[in-house]
Structure 1
Amino acid sequence: MAGLVSKNFDKPDETRPFEDGMGRLDLFNTEGGAVGRAVFEPGWRWSQHIKPLAGTDSCQSAHTGYVVSGRMVIAMDDGEQGEIGPGDFIRIAPGHDAWVVGDEPCIALDWTGYTDYAKPASG
């Protein structure tokens, strides 16, 4: 195990584009798991731009992260809903939709839910 690891999101290990050019996921693969920075463009919605890749009715990833900029609404399958924005810590259980609000991209860091996020479903 390395004593110090430093990486920059300008040079990720992997980049996964979202449908219709509505954003991307920049990913680092670390010993502790995947760490990602997602850029969700205005107009992005999980059910439109990730669902075709995931092949599930709602997002089944559990997210633990931090919102750097922009705003997003999270709607849980059970009807619970909330808005997140800059400086917010987030923990989101599987079973949700989400969409960007406003005209600024929403940028979020996540260290638990991006291993398979926006990866085409195996067929």
Structure 2
Amino acid sequence: MEVRAIETRRFDTPDDVLDMKEHGGISIVRMSDGSTGMLAIFEPGWTWDAHEKPLPGSPPV
């Protein structure tokens, strides 16, 4: 059986951040194997239509 090294990443040093101003944000880390981890924080009053849809790279509806 092959033993693999454990890779750790921290969300306080993300590769990308989607900033939704005063309503939260999403921190994105990318691992060396191509997988992605996301930490999303949404503050009261956040709605997808108003705060994420306008961001570049968001999927069209």
The TM-score normalised by the length of structure 1 is 0.39
Higher helix share: 2
3-state SS, counterpart of residue 35 of structure 1: strand
Q: Residue 32 of structure 1: CA displacement?
A: 3.8
Q: Report what 1:37 is aligned to.
A: 39
C-alpha separation in 1, matches of 2:51 and 2:40: 13
Using CA pairs under 8 Å that are at least 6 residues apart, name the structure with larger relative contact order, 1 or 2. 1
Q: Report what 1:27 is aligned to.
A: 28
Q: Residue 21 of structure 1: CA displacement?
A: 2.7
What is the aligned residue count?
55
Structure 2: give runs of 5+ residues left out of the alignment.
none
3-state SS, counterpart of residue 18 of structure 2: strand
Give the structure with higher Rg (CA): 2
Structure 1: give runs of 5+ residues left out of the alignment.
58-123
How large is the RMSD of aligned CA atoms in angstroms? 1.8
The alignment-based identity, stated in percent, is: 31
The TM-score normalised by the length of structure 2 is 0.71
3-state SS, counterpart of residue 16 of structure 1: strand
Higher strand share: 1
C-alpha separation in 1, matches of 2:59 and 2:51: 11
